[in-house]
Chain A
Amino acid sequence: MQPLKILYVEDDQRSAQAVSELADRSGDTLVWESSGSAALLRAGMEAFDVIILDRMLGDIDGLTITKRLRESGIGTPILILSALGRTSDRAEGLDAGADDYLAKPFEPEELLARLRALHRRSSGHEHSAVILYGAFECHVKARTAFRQNQHLSLSPKEFELFRYFMENAGEIVTREMLLRDVWKMDFDPQTNVVDVNIGRLRRKLEEGFDKPALETIWGSGYRILDGQ
């Protein structure tokens, strides 16, 4: 996994420390700034792969920072990590120009998965006509899927799911990411609807093969395996 260079803007030291430890473990470099003004300066001077922003900072709030960064032409992906977690708060963050929004408390794996997905999206690794990963093939335009050259018969929604996994191949995909990107829902239903749908996809991907196709990452989400 390619290490990321992350700017983290957070005025709460304990939160900063926890995320910092998380970044250490995943091998990423994290630069911490505790105020909005310092963060704006830093983001203007150095290039980062992703920026994590708290919303309620002591000086400038996260939404304003996002707007100012975008106005000054800095397009680095921004993930807002905030204690304001209602859907309306998320909508505000995304409207201000942020690329993703995660509410506290969060699953550490979820944060890492989202940061990687953001970085991947911004560095343009995806959207090719055919996505190949291990034994899997996803023909985006033709909307067909193959495993070891065998056609997989998927329903339209299952194909959407499969494509999303393929676009994020090798990385963890969380339930919230799936809900947001595949079903366009910005909140978590109280039942296990996502797991059930993944279960159905998994059966189709694994039927007639020995090796598993999807790995469940405990407590956070799923990852597609190479199937070989």
Chain B
Amino acid sequence: MSPYSRSIFSRLVWGAGIISTVLLVALWWTTHQTVQTTLEEGARTQIDIDIAGLVDIYATNGRAELATRIADRVAVIPMEGNTPHYFLSDDKGARIAGDLEQWPALDPSVSESGLIPIGENSEGFARAVQLDRELRLVGARGLADSEPLLQRIGLVFLFGGAVLVALVVLLGRLAAARLQRRIERINVAFRDPHAEALSSLAEPKDGDEIDELTAHSGAALARVRNLMEAYRDTSDQLAHEIRTPLTHLDNRLVKTLREEPEAAVAEGLVAAREDIRRLVQTLESLLDIASSKARKGDRAGLKDFDMSAMVHRICDLYSGSAEETGHAFKWRIEGGVQFTGEEWQLSRVLTNLLDNAFKYVPAGGRIEVTLETQANRPILTVSDNGPGIATGERDRIFERFYRGGADEGDVAGSGLGLALAQAIAERHGLTLQVIDSKVGSTFRLS
């Protein structure tokens, strides 16, 4: 299972948590603003009602009564809400009644309203009116102290929001874990498509789109598995049906040879046995090529191994041949190169390349093997100063049964070595190619 932090579901849960937090903050802010506006609106309405009442009193009872009422109102401390403040003045600005220190910057001729300072630290909403040519009035109410209310709202949002976000994350995680388990079933089957894993994919759980995906994956995997099994059975049968009669034929030849026939006959029988061997090797190589191609990109069965040790062992094996054949054989191997693959398969790539080099490079020639790494990827080269490979042939030499112009005549071979080497390289996600070199040929596996 991939770690939870890398799972799409954990990202979804994180996303849901963050989005709900952002939404909650936005909701809190909107509420905060609305409450504040509503409180202001309240003060505004209240002062308008106040002023209307006082205008009414003035119209009905005159200036003296108005001054008395204003003094009464200033004296009363209301049970709730804020104390009203007034300023009644004559046309010279002298205060007749009220508690405001001075006339605020409001124009009574247009009944201007606005926020004014009240006392030292607070402000209030006020409206000024011209009662008649000599009399003007301003009424103000301090804004209700909104802080405690807003704090209460903030607390409700903080605790309520925390619980909500926690619930979203918790439920999200539960749902994500369940989804992850369902997806993991598919991944398990892909990693190791054994019969049990595949049959479990066929059982529907909720009938939703994930079930559909699960069923499709199961069916596709089963198809691939069946194909691989059919391919394997066919190649096993093929090998069996060809090798068994060849074994019988070989046994007959061995029997006849044991009866000590004439030299010429014996020679023919030995050659016939050699032919049988070659035929078997060709069959094996063809099946190996097919099998490598079929498993291209499939990581199953690959293991870590020490590539340096493998290359060293093979170079050591061929060094004797080099002395015998008079080739200058050198190798340069970077130590501790690890690779994940099938060791015997990759050693076959190297032996095939070396077999070719020793076959085609004339005595006295140079053959060199290097193993190095570039960005942690191994690069294996086999180069020589032999006849080289014509540019036009460089791709064709990897074709099955293609025999290059250089080997007509005396050099034996099945014509499958390079095709097999390339199939093995591709099965490991590597490429095998002939690269440009000044002399001879250079094969690079990288």
Interface residues of chain A, those whose CB is within 8 Å of chain B, are 12, 14-15, 18, 56, 83-88, 91, 103-106, 108, 157, 183-187, 189-194, 196-197, 199-200, 219
Alpha-carbon separation in the docked complex, A200 to B345 (Å)? 28
Decide: B248 and A15 in contact? CB cutoff 8 A. Answer: yes
Decide: A184 and B244 in contact? CB cutoff 8 A. Answer: no
| Interface membership of B365, Cβ < 8 A | no
A-B pairs with beta carbons under 8 Å apart, 17 shown: A87-B345, A88-B291, A104-B246, A104-B247, A105-B243, A105-B250, A108-B254, A185-B314, A186-B344, A190-B351, A190-B355, A190-B413, A191-B321, A193-B318, A196-B320, A197-B317, A219-B270
| Interface membership of B239, Cβ < 8 A | yes
Rounded to whole Å, the gap between the CB of A117 and the closest CB of chain B is: 21
Residues of B within 8 A of A192 (CB): 321
Which secondary structure dominates chain B's binding surface?
A: helix
Alpha-carbon separation in the docked complex, A112 to B435 (Å)? 46
Known: A105-B280, A193-B320. A87 touches B243 (CB 8 A): no
Decide: B321 and A196 in contact? CB cutoff 8 A. Answer: yes
Rounded to whole Å, the gap between the CB of A10 and the closest CB of chain B is: 10
Known: A86-B284, A196-B320, A197-B320. A185 touches B247 (CB 8 A): no
Alpha-carbon separation in the docked complex, A192 to B322 (Å)? 11
Residues of A within 8 A of B280 (CB): 85, 103, 105
Decide: B344 and A87 in contact? CB cutoff 8 A. Answer: yes
| Interface membership of B182, Cβ < 8 A | no
Known: A56-B236, A104-B247. A187 touches B344 (CB 8 A): yes
| Interface membership of B359, Cβ < 8 A | yes
What is the count of residue pairs linking A and B with beta-carbon distances less than 8 angstroms?
100
Known: A14-B248, A193-B321. A84 touches B240 (CB 8 A): yes
Alpha-carbon separation in the docked complex, A88 to B288 (Å)? 9
Decide: A15 and B413 in contact? CB cutoff 8 A. Answer: no
Which secondary structure dominates chain A's binding surface?
A: loop
Rounded to whole Å, the gap between the CB of A34 and the closest CB of chain B is: 15
* Nearest A-chain residue to B313, judged by Cβ: A183
Interface residues of chain B, those whose CB is within 8 Å of chain A, are 236, 239-240, 243-244, 246-251, 254, 270, 276-277, 280, 284, 287-288, 291, 313-314, 316-318, 320-321, 323-324, 344-345, 347-348, 351-352, 354-355, 358-359, 413, 417
Residues of B within 8 A of A103 (CB): 243, 280
Residues of A within 8 A of B250 (CB): 105
Decide: A184 and B318 in contact? CB cutoff 8 A. Answer: no
Residues of B within 8 A of A184 (CB): 313
Known: A86-B287, A105-B280. A193 touches B244 (CB 8 A): no
A104, A185, A200: the one within 8 Å of B347 (CB): A185
Decide: B284 and A105 in contact? CB cutoff 8 A. Answer: no
* Nearest B-chain residue to A21, judged by Cβ: B255
Alpha-carbon separation in the docked complex, A191 to B324 (Å)? 12
Alpha-carbon separation in the docked complex, A219 to B254 (Å)? 11
Residues of B within 8 A of A197 (CB): 317, 320
Decide: A83 and B321 in contact? CB cutoff 8 A. Answer: no
Decide: B254 and A83 in contact? CB cutoff 8 A. Answer: no
* Nearest B-chain residue to A194, judged by Cβ: B317
Known: A56-B236, A84-B240, A85-B239. A193 touches B247 (CB 8 A): no
Alpha-carbon separation in the docked complex, A12 to B244 (Å)? 9
Alpha-carbon separation in the docked complex, A186 to B247 (Å)? 21
Decide: B291 and A104 in contact? CB cutoff 8 A. Answer: no
Decide: A104 and B324 in contact? CB cutoff 8 A. Answer: no
Alpha-carbon separation in the docked complex, A15 to B251 (Å)? 9
Alpha-carbon separation in the docked complex, A86 to B318 (Å)? 23
Residues of B within 8 A of A194 (CB): 317
Which among A12, A83, A86, A191 has the highest number of chain B CB atoms within 10 Å? A83
Residues of A within 8 A of B324 (CB): 196, 199
B243, B251, B359: the one within 8 Å of A83 (CB): B243
Residues of A within 8 A of B243 (CB): 83, 85, 103-105
Residues of B within 8 A of A108 (CB): 254
Decide: B358 and A191 in contact? CB cutoff 8 A. Answer: yes
Rounded to whole Å, the gap between the CB of A18 and the closest CB of chain B is: 4
Alpha-carbon separation in the docked complex, A96 to B318 (Å)? 32
Residues of B within 8 A of A200 (CB): 320, 323
